[in-house]
């Protein structure tokens, strides 16, 4: 006998399904694609499938012919069952509108900064249907409400302006019973449609939202409970905003604990975090791209709160706005807080309800830009100027954008030093600092170079110019030690400096002191030709054979002790030699 047609199968299944009571149909979960791996949940589907096989067999179809129509039979069973469930009788447009109304922005949620294309109705409706399987009573009530006078047009019209990626948040609980609380779906403030309220378990308040975690762009949780937080362990690939605060009706002093695997550690686009009265346990993966962080009455569990806070700040180098509030940030008793947090993009930092000692200790442990605005509580007598007390020369605090500097020009006098930093192209001035020593003690140039070289190495600096370096301001030995802090230096310039500083390069190990040096510039110096040749030779010998970078360019300007013979030797050592030969030269013939 021939194989039964799909139309024959659909009609057969429809007749058989009509024989089953509606109660059993409404409770079924026909996920037929997983039929082979399930038991109790799909017993109804199994029974209908067996009835269809038996009916086809009694009509003379062979087992092979019946088995070939297995997929069509299962599809037909699912379609017929779905037609008898309230959730599937709700129109697709209504499902999409309810979804968007549930994401309606109000005081408990925020809109993302950009607008998005219209909602994909088909995708949303399928997700809501899957969610509804766990809440059949909700869709029974929705189905009954829409029967007779479907408010499709008004419902969709009221939600047209809501982007598909609006932030989701459970509404504030109005009444709480021993086992149930209310979950509100709808937007009574923006539409005349009757609110849809159902009774669900308190533990399931977040569950209707979880299937949409991949769509979240903002999640603001107000008046939440610990059970809600425990559910937030799903990846959120598009989440940008996350706010959470304690239940306002909870007992005073109650703290919420963020799960250690919050968002499964995957929120690559998270930018804005605000936490109130919670135990914070965010991993560094969730903090690396933050631009805004607001912490109020937070705790970090065991250990020093200040130390853990510094770890959070060090993990957030892109922060632009930082707000700290609450007495739960005690001072660390003067103990060191470890490596300073580099927050050079920080625009505003707001501190409230913290002691002056804590504020001073905190501010001395972060590095910010001069453009950073600091707002302190009115009760504090501190100001931005007193936040960074300079007991010594602190280049990182005075010169916070050193990491962007490509060229430094340092002018060192006996009691004064002038530092000018420009960008990598040498055009834009990023900082112009002048340090003057008025009291007896260590020379100011020595203190500044200590901070630049040893205390604050610049591994990215490409070019540096020293002007008017003299032994009375800094020793030659310390100058050489300072050069260790510039491993990426490619251009080194001496302008009106004592020849001893140039000659110091002869004995320095080129593999450790400026190993990438390619250009040497000497201007207005009394250094002799022999010394220049020795310096250049020390930077070129035994290097070319090893394939390492070696000195390739030398520029000599206003060096009255340099003659043509010296230039001829230099041209044999390096490819490029610049010399202002038009100036009179008093050098002796040293190389003939």
Best CA proximity match to 456, nearest among 340, 313, 307, 311: 340
Answer yes or no: are the C-beta atoms of 348 and 369 closer than 8 Å.
Answer: no
Angle at CA of residue 342, ends 338 and 346, nearest 5°: 135
| pLDDT recorded at residue 554 | 92
| pLDDT recorded at residue 282 | 67
Choose the final residue of a domain: 84, 115, 146. Answer: 84
Residue 431 included in any domain: yes
The helix/strand/coil state of 284 is: helix
Q: Residue 299 CB: number of other CB atoms within 10 A?
A: 19
Residue 508 included in any domain: yes
Mean pLDDT over residues 375-389, rounded? 42
Residue 506 included in any domain: yes
Answer yes or no: are the C-beta atoms of 218 and 239 closer than 8 Å.
Answer: yes
Q: Residue 425 CB: number of other CB atoms within 10 A?
A: 8
What is the DSSP-derived secondary structure letter of residue 328? T
**Using 50, 70 and 90 to split pLDDT, how confident is the model at 487?**
confident
* Total number of domains in the chain: 2
> Which of the pair, 389 or 394, is modelled with greater confidence?
394
Residue 54 included in any domain: yes
pLDDT surpassing 80 at residue 293: yes
Measured between its terminal Cα atoms, the distance across the chain in Å is 114
Q: What is the DSSP string of 321-380?
A: EEEEESTT----TT----SPEEETT--EEEEES--HHHHHHHHTTEEE-TT-EEEE-TT-
Residue 72 included in any domain: yes
List residues bridging with 464 in a β-sheet: 408, 492
| pLDDT recorded at residue 140 | 52
The proportion of the chain whose per-residue pLDDT surpasses 70, expressed as a percent, equals: 49
Of the candidate ranges 75-89, 131-145, 364-378, the one whose mean pLDDT is the lowest: 131-145
Which CATH number covers residue 511?
Answer: 3.80.10
Residue 142 included in any domain: no
> Which of the pair, 454 or 483, is modelled with greater confidence?
483
Structure tokens that stand for 395 in this block: 């280049």
- Which range has highest mean pLDDT (72-86, 160-174, 557-571)? 557-571
| pLDDT recorded at residue 269 | 85
Choose the final residue of a domain: 84, 100, 129. Answer: 84
Of the candidate ranges 180-184, 376-380, 563-567, 576-580, the one whose mean pLDDT is the lowest: 180-184
pLDDT surpassing 70 at residue 300: no
Answer yes or no: are the C-beta atoms of 298 and 319 closer than 8 Å.
Answer: no
pLDDT surpassing 70 at residue 573: yes
pLDDT surpassing 60 at residue 276: yes
Of the candidate ranges 41-55, 92-106, 334-348, the one whose mean pLDDT is the lowest: 92-106
- State the residue for tokens 């869709």: 139
pTM, entire model: 0.38
* Containing structural domain, residue 550: 395-579
pLDDT surpassing 60 at residue 161: no
Choose the final residue of a domain: 56, 84, 112. Answer: 84
Could you report the per-residue pLDDT of 407-418, keeping only the tens digit for each? 777 776 656 677
The mean of the pLDDT values for the chain is 65
Residue 357 included in any domain: no
**Using 50, 70 and 90 to split pLDDT, how confident is the model at 203?**
very low
Residue 448 included in any domain: yes
């Amino acid at each position: 006998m021939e194989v039964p047609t799909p139309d024959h199968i659909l009609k057969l299944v429809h007749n058989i399904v009509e024989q089953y009571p509606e109660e059993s149909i409404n409770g079924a979960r026909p996920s037929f694609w997983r039929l082979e791996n399930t038991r109790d949940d799909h017993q109804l589907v199994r029974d209908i499938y067996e009835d269809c096989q038996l009916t086809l067999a009694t009509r003379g179809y062979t087992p092979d012919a019946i088995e070939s129509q297995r997929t069509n039979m299962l599809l037909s069973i699912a379609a017929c069952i779905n037609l008898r469930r309230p959730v599937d009788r709700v129109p697709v447009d209504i499902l999409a509108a309810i979804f968007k109304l549930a994401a309606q922005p109000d005081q408990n949620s925020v809109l993302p900064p950009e607008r998005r294309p219209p909602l994909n109705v088909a995708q949303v409706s399928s997700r809501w249907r899957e969610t509804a399987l766990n809440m059949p009573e909700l869709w029974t009530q929705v189905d009954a409400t829409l029967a007779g006078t479907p408010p499709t047009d008004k419902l969709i019209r009221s939600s047209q302006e809501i982007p598909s990626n609006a932030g989701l948040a459970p509404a504030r609980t109005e009444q709480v019973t021993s086992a149930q609380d209310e979950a509100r779906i709808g937007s009574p403030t923006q539409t005349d449609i009757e609110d849809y309220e159902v009774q669900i378990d308190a533990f399931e308040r977040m569950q209707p939202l979880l299937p949409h975690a991949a769509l979240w762009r903002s999640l603001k949780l107000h008046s939440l409970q610990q059970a809600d937080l425990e559910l937030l362990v799903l990846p959120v690939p598009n989440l940008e905003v996350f706010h959470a605060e304690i239940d306002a009706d909870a007992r005073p002093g109650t703290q919420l604990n963020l799960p250690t695997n919050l968002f499964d550690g995957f929120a690559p686009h998270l930018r804005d975090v605000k936490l109130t009265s919670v135990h914070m346990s965010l991993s560094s993966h969730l903090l690396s791209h933050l631009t805004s962080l607001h912490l109020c009455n937070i705790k970090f569990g065991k250990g020093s709160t200040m130390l853990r806070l510094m770890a959070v700040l060090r993990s957030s180098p892109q922060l632009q706005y930082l707000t700290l509030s609450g007495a739960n940030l005690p001072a660390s008793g003067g103990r060191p807080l470890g490596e300073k947090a580099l927050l050079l993009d920080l625009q505003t930092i707001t501190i409230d309800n913290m002691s002056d000692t804590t504020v001073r200790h905190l501010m001395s442990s972060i590095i910010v830009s001069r453009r950073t605005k600091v707002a302190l509580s009115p009760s504090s007598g501190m100001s931005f100027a007193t936040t960074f007390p300079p007991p010594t020369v602190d280049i990182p605090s005075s010169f916070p954008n050193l990491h962007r500097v490509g060229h430094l020009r340092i002018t060192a006098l006996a009691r004064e030093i002038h530092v000018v930093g420009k960008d990598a192209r040498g055009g834009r001035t990023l900082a112009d600092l002048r340090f003057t020593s008025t009291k007896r003690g260590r020379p100011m140039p020595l203190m500044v170079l200590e901070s630049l070289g040893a205390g604050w190495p610049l591994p990215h600096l490409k070019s540096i110019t020293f002007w008017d370096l003299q032994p009375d301001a800094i020793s030659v030995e310390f100058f050489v030690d300072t050069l260790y802090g510039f491993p990426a230096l490619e251009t080194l310039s001496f302008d009106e400096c004592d020849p001893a500083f140039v000659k110091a390069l002869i004995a320095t190990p080129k593999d450790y002191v400026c190993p990438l040096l390619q250009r040497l510039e000497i201007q207005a110096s009394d250094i002799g030709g022999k010394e220049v040749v020795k310096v250049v030779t020390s930077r070129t010998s035994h290097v070319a054979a090893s394939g390492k970078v070696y000195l390739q360019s030398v520029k000599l300007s206003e060096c009255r002790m340099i003659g043509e013979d010296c230039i001829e030797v230099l041209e044999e050592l390096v490819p490029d030699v610049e010399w202002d030969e038009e100036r009179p030269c008093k050098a002796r013939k040293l190389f003939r």
